[in-house]
Structure 1
């Protein structure tokens, strides 16, 4: 759809300019938005960058594409990658050019991001992937999710709870890191380059150092402020501050060079010893010793028992596009539930960024997330009625609850039949393989805990705090149990058409992920946006449900809070408020999108890759 056609397709009411640019910013951490910390370089722009938030100043005019697009997609015929950091993207492209597969590139990217973007990823967290296998012509899924410590009882967990929920920091929330085994498992099946070669870029970066981009620097400094605060509930913080705080303990400024020799040493051990170096070797021994010293529960035996599992992705049809999602202990099927409900409405007729379009999508989210809170859990411990939840019949029933001019309240989960901060990246190679991978330490940088070796040097990575998402409610499918995988928010996305791959995509960010994935599919399928503008389009983020899975803040009222990005038209914003939505200011929680699209130019395969402006990353192709 060209620019003129796209603009003409938008209802006139939605073209009213926004009256004011009320862009909310996250609360600045130390050294942000004020005087720089001692012996730290100043930012490259004026300290008070709020002066640039002008309601009368907008982005420059692009000669083609949607008015809100930040850039053009990148194109290539040999390979492509999109990540949240330019150096990680370059590493992935280098691996592809060296003859590596898309899986080799994905592992290299993820290892690089563990150093470059520690606010969202690292070997202390979990990993999920969907892969288009060009030989079998199927989407295959891998769950690299670690379990809770086997020596940690429900009674002990409840003793550490506050207000009926687990705390966000400290050893009580740590579960087995699954990322390294997920990489190994993927490489065993799909790798082309030697295992050690895919770690070379990350090792070089961690040893030599790299300038920290603006957004990542901002969030590292916020985390350092939390970890340095008294009474934070973390058993030990000296290692975290030593690893990420730089000389002054407050974290890097934008553009400041950061190094992590401890992580480089850990990567060297994994590169030479494979996954066993992490789960049964010296690293596992160091982890065991560390948690015993600080009074935590993760043990050598927990690491040694861990293995990833291949799983069959769930899928649904959305107006001729097949959307795939991972079930297991993730929230992946919430995307499918939302799309099944949205499909019952004339989204194109409602109009792009119209009040009714956003209203329907937000209501579909509320309905799906009630089921998410009621049914989603580790299927090895609980019977999850996946086929019923993603069925068209169930979606039709739920869709009848949505009224176009009012909000459903109260909202409940369905009654099942009786059957008994994250990083995302995508890459593709010359053979047609596509990898959609997501990896995370969960909330922020993680638990605040960084292990050290016997020589006192840190291992260079932080352990995830994923265990916070366990329920403590008796009878709940996601109730805590030793050796159980907690509910997961991280989900890769994939879409096919006519049995052929189309999109390898994802939207990072906690409970925003299914909401963001659904908005991307609607933007592509219903409104015809191309791969880049589909991610640049303004988004909504609904927060609050009658039941929570650890992501929603309490006290939001019966209908929750509907946050709208500044780019949503003023007329749409006013009408949604009239319907009854409580409109929240934008807070930066609208996810971060990466995507690789497969196109065909006759018999020639063309990759189109996109990366949006909400992160520090980029997409490249060749």
Structure 2
């Protein structure tokens, strides 16, 4: 396990797969900038981490252009189809979690690649897709994480998907050669024709044809009408830093709410890794989740009251409600966790923090015909209750867990950080930032330190606080005494997700850390 950070004087790339990090580094060495490299990393992850992310999924981006001197966000999430209505599921308690009827939102990933690279990139779109195409066509060593994910979710795969990911009924051996010929052909079409090849050309037609034949609801018109959008990020000030998140339909504001609560506590008197540390963070996040669950949806359908939620006075009121001796009895809904976060900083000072996902492992489990594209099941999180804030409606974005983070000091990036894990994303992000900012940890130390995740996971009746046993038995006992429903997790438990971070110090040095729970790498020079 890596214990120290990778430090570069000019560049840094972090991602959950070493080949994706290497792809980004290669683009930087080729003369590309952070935006070119980030798209290359994202596209390569879509190939080498197919159980977590892919062309059939969504992405959110935070970008800092040194030339502009400002942070922007790109919402690369898709909307439900125009023909996707609640009555499609009449008599059902919920939208199916898997299968073609869970694939009801247009994938926003490819559009986001084109938008970021077109706006800020230096190389051609085809050049930044080269590494991904190469790994899809020539193959790559199958990762332990993909192998485990294939065993876990194999039963959810359609026959077309199983033929790719479970040839002969089992995944290839760990580090065995894994080739995705159909996906390589699709990526080549995308590289040659740009984003319109995906949304208005042969790729869209192939997906729509498969949908129609398989009983799905998305049409070619749904793809042709898709567009992501550049939006203003949401932010809050925290201990001399401006912390940015993507706006709704992303849940990013929940992490900002937690920071507005935590700024009312003196971390100088709270030992890192103590009962007080874990209890305080858990309680602050529970309060932010309570409000998040009541308001988060597509803001074009229902206004999300960010002015109120991010008001500093409101944060103070929430802070005053926290007992340092007792856990509040609050709940939340289970949320999917399989995601890939990455970040890039170049020598010019440009920075990109981004995250992408299929929602569950292998998304819907359905591969669209011969495209090699796994379709996401993100839309399955819509509610079928017409009174629910996140109720299913046509052409609507759902409550979205994806949330890349960036903290700036004096107007320039200081920390880029994020993690895999739906409900865990605001929680792990808060741990990462407080550890780096209050306790002086470098990114690798912050990532390595023991973590918790609170909330109910699928099929579990209670709101558990899962805590890695490395915290020590006395901390676990104190948390239980305070009323937390504590479940001891393994030392580096996969349920905590894959977290990565980049820090930029006063000398401009970039230090990077990647999660020991995944197959990632930090590369900088």
Q: What band does the TM-score fall into relative to the shorter chain?
A: over 0.9
Size of the aligned set, in residue pairs, is 517
TM alignment of 1:28-427, pairs within 5 A: 70-159=2-91, 161=92, 164-174=93-103, 175-227=105-157, 237-246=158-167, 248-409=168-329, 421-427=338-344
Instruction: Give the Cα separation in 2 of the matches to 1:616 and 1:506.
Output: 16
Unaligned runs of 5+ in 1: 1-68, 228-236, 413-420, 453-457, 545-550
Higher helix share: 2
Aligned to 1:34: none
Name which of 389, 409, 428 aligns with 2:345. 428
1:586-616 per-position Cα deviation (integer Å, ceiling 9, x unaligned): 2521121112222242xxx322121120111
How far 1:184 sits from its partner (Å)? Answer: 0.6
Name which of 419, 434, 437 aligns with 1:525. 437
Larger radius of gyration: 1
Instruction: Give the Cα separation in 2 of the matches to 1:298 and 1:486.
Output: 16
1:196-220 per-position Cα deviation (integer Å, ceiling 9, x unaligned): 1111111111111111121221112
Aligned to 1:446: 363
Of 467-476 and 292-301, more deviation after overlay is shown by: 467-476
TM alignment of 1:594-605, pairs within 5 A: 594-601=500-507, 605=508
- Is residue 515 of structure 2 the alignment partner of residue 620 of structure 1? no
Instruction: Give the Cα separation in 1 of the matches to 2:287 and 2:46.
Output: 35
| 8 Å Cα contact 2:442/2:511 also seen in 1 | no
Aligned to 2:389: 477
Instruction: Give the Cα separation in 2 of the matches to 1:553 and 1:371.
Output: 23
Aligned to 1:487: 399
Of 267-276 and 574-583, more deviation after overlay is shown by: 574-583
Instruction: Give the Cα separation in 2 of the matches to 1:361 and 1:392.
Output: 17
Unaligned runs of 5+ in 2: 333-337
Instruction: Give the Cα separation in 2 of the matches to 1:294 and 1:404.
Output: 54
Aligned to 1:230: none
Secondary structure at 1:132 match in 2: strand
Secondary structure at 2:372 match in 1: strand
Aligned to 2:412: 500
Query: Cα–Cα, structure 1 residues 427 and 362, in superposed 2: closer, same or farther, change >3 Å?
Result: same
| 8 Å Cα contact 1:507/1:592 also seen in 2 | yes
Instruction: Give the Cα separation in 2 of the matches to 1:477 and 1:291.
Output: 28
TM-score using structure 2 length: 0.96
| 8 Å Cα contact 1:329/1:488 also seen in 2 | yes
Secondary structure at 1:381 match in 2: coil
1:488-508 per-position Cα deviation (integer Å, ceiling 9, x unaligned): 111101001122211111111
Give the superposed CA RMSD: 1.6
| 8 Å Cα contact 1:225/1:250 also seen in 2 | no
Instruction: Give the Cα separation in 2 of the matches to 1:514 and 1:84.
Output: 18
Instruction: Give the Cα separation in 1 of the matches to 2:155 and 2:441.
Output: 40
